[in-house]
Structure 1
């Protein structure tokens, strides 16, 4: 094969995990919105430089824009070679892409190949990759989803984490979305990815699953925080086998106190989130919950939230949205110790 080779995403996909590096040659802002999972950002033009060259292109012409852009491109690629890849051996195999698979990735792939590395350029760039992801999520592979159901605080997320830890196949949508899936689900200091990045992460997980083995997933709603689960994936989940996790009210309160410790330490942040429930519960009830949070009555507040908000919402929606829930296994947790979750996970993994 002559390098740099220009290949379609369909040709690259079977070998995607074999590349030593996936290099996104787009700007920092483009990379932040979405990228091929596992890619590193090595901009051929940074955000400011791209605006400068693009403005010249529109206002003056292609020739003048290229005269300004070429030295910037050359300097940036040289810096990346010196700082990122100077120690790479001759058989180091990178995949390079930009927005459309044109000048930016072409320039980088050309130089990498001239050095002697077997560089591959993605034909069609990020746009070709994104089209593949969108099509794949519209018709996802047939997988044996096992949907872990249960009221808020019953330990669904911990069970998924434990299943993942013992080698089961897990699609943890809340982890991918950086959100716990409720009005209080925002994770401190961890912003949610963009919608496109969320879809990329889901696609990347789905493509790696063995269809002969079950895939455990939580009974999510259509939205996890601000992000929407792809419709076809949600439809498959909602028609799948369910497992109902059961835990006593007392232990659910304990578990939520542990999981939402950041709110216990910052009642003002908690009260800001509770304000989103005014339309459902009225100002007087929210003010009463504010007072409980301010007064340190957190176990009592969590108990009321379960009884008056979370449990009724769950019961209204679960039978309607997950049609197999009444036929599923009921799995009772005696406590919330690590051993309890390990035992439950091993039981499900072995089934």
Structure 2
């Protein structure tokens, strides 16, 4: 069985994460597939046996639990070998699980390498490299009131060839108190940082578009060195009429059949800012399907005053207006970007 470091394996090997599903969900190497030797409950059983009985019995139990799964694992590994070529397996620290997995398949003629240090070595790479990647870029920071479509604009800019850091995508959260509606739980802090690392690793130039954010996005926190760098970046502002913003929010928040109940429940998070009576009134309107009315009132009476208080203190390099759609606004920003960067690059310094 062969071992290799992450720096030797990245871009050359396809990764197999043999940890439990919950470990994989918390964070993994981007693109890795999960083939767990033990599920979460089984992992707990083995760990308990290790503590209460001993190492040998824990290994014996592990082999007993893993053995019935080997035929299915064999089919998965053969398929991955055919599709991706070189394979590397990892567990938490490069211990028993990845050793067992790589050894078994290598012994039957399907070479599987073991990632030295496991996920922990990859995490170390992320934490050491992320500040350096951050130092290499100048952020162009998109500010704008709720509903102007900043995230959609970022995606359009990416499609036009610009380098983009989508922090809300990295977090799986839209940033506001209601930002999880329709998209599930916020990512873990580890997965958030991994996603940022992955995006910055794939930037094509030194200017990176990013959306202005508070320090926290849902339950995760933007690393201070990134938020500080964003504050030092080039600030631009996007505005839009209230009707445009309502329709933009409707597209983002009415994503499934449960949007009414999910929205009404999420609105309780606004109880520090809105009276109980008003909240109940707005929740009633949501349950009646009156999204436009609620969105307009929340923006005009809550989000806009809070956002304008912060944004009015910034000196913007340029202002844009979203009129018809995000692609048009992105096109205007793209034109400005090309004129400034390629025409008078010194203006940014």
* TM bucket, shorter chain: 0.7 to 0.9
Please give the residue correspondences for 1:55-66 in structure 2 after superposition, counting only pairs within 5 Å: 55-66=48-59
Q: Deviations over 1:160-188 (max 9, x none)?
A: 12112222211111122222211222131
- Pairwise CA distance, 1:83: 3.6
- Pairwise CA distance, 1:261: 2.8
> 1:92 & 1:188 partners in 2: Cα distance?
37
Normalised to the residue count of structure 2, the TM-score between the two structures is 0.86
> 1:22 & 1:94 partners in 2: Cα distance?
6
> 1:264 & 1:70 partners in 2: Cα distance?
44
Tell me which residue corresponds to 1:34. Answer: 27
Contact 2:246-2:292 at 8 Å conserved across structures: yes
Tell me which residue corresponds to 1:121. Answer: 114
Contact 1:185-1:225 at 8 Å conserved across structures: yes
> 2:99 & 2:289 partners in 1: Cα distance?
60
Q: Would the alpha carbon gap of residues 271 and 75 (structure 1) be closer, same or farther in structure 2, given more than 3 Å must change?
A: closer
Q: Deviations over 1:54-88 (max 9, x none)?
A: 22222222223323333444554453123442573
> 1:175 & 1:90 partners in 2: Cα distance?
28
Q: Deviations over 1:301-323 (max 9, x none)?
A: 32222221111111222356xxx
Tell me which residue corresponds to 1:343. Answer: 331
> 1:309 & 1:262 partners in 2: Cα distance?
23
> 2:330 & 2:302 partners in 1: Cα distance?
29
> 1:154 & 1:45 partners in 2: Cα distance?
46
> 1:64 & 1:296 partners in 2: Cα distance?
59
> 1:209 & 1:317 partners in 2: Cα distance?
29
The Cα RMSD (Å) is: 2.7
Contact 1:147-1:216 at 8 Å conserved across structures: yes
Q: Would the alpha carbon gap of residues 288 and 103 (structure 1) be closer, same or farther in structure 2, given more than 3 Å must change?
A: closer
Tell me which residue corresponds to 1:7. Answer: 4
Normalised to the residue count of structure 1, the TM-score between the two structures is 0.85
> 1:115 & 1:326 partners in 2: Cα distance?
64
Q: Would the alpha carbon gap of residues 189 and 208 (structure 1) be closer, same or farther in structure 2, given more than 3 Å must change?
A: closer
SS at match of 1:170: strand
Unaligned runs of 5+ in 2: 340-349
Q: Would the alpha carbon gap of residues 57 and 295 (structure 1) be closer, same or farther in structure 2, given more than 3 Å must change?
A: closer
Tell me which residue corresponds to 1:226. Answer: 219
> 2:70 & 2:289 partners in 1: Cα distance?
56
Q: Would the alpha carbon gap of residues 297 and 235 (structure 1) be closer, same or farther in structure 2, given more than 3 Å must change?
A: same
SS at match of 1:154: coil
Q: Would the alpha carbon gap of residues 101 and 237 (structure 1) be closer, same or farther in structure 2, given more than 3 Å must change?
A: same
Q: State whether structure 2 residue 160 is matched by structure 1 residue 152.
A: no
> 1:315 & 1:178 partners in 2: Cα distance?
25
Q: Deviations over 1:262-288 (max 9, x none)?
A: 599854433333332222132243244
SS at match of 2:315: helix
> 2:277 & 2:21 partners in 1: Cα distance?
46
> 1:249 & 1:90 partners in 2: Cα distance?
49
- Pairwise CA distance, 1:105: 0.8
Q: Would the alpha carbon gap of residues 92 and 74 (structure 1) be closer, same or farther in structure 2, given more than 3 Å must change?
A: farther
- Pairwise CA distance, 1:142: 1.7
> 2:108 & 2:336 partners in 1: Cα distance?
52
Q: State whether structure 2 residue 179 is matched by structure 1 residue 191.
A: no
> 1:295 & 1:72 partners in 2: Cα distance?
51
Paired residue total = 338
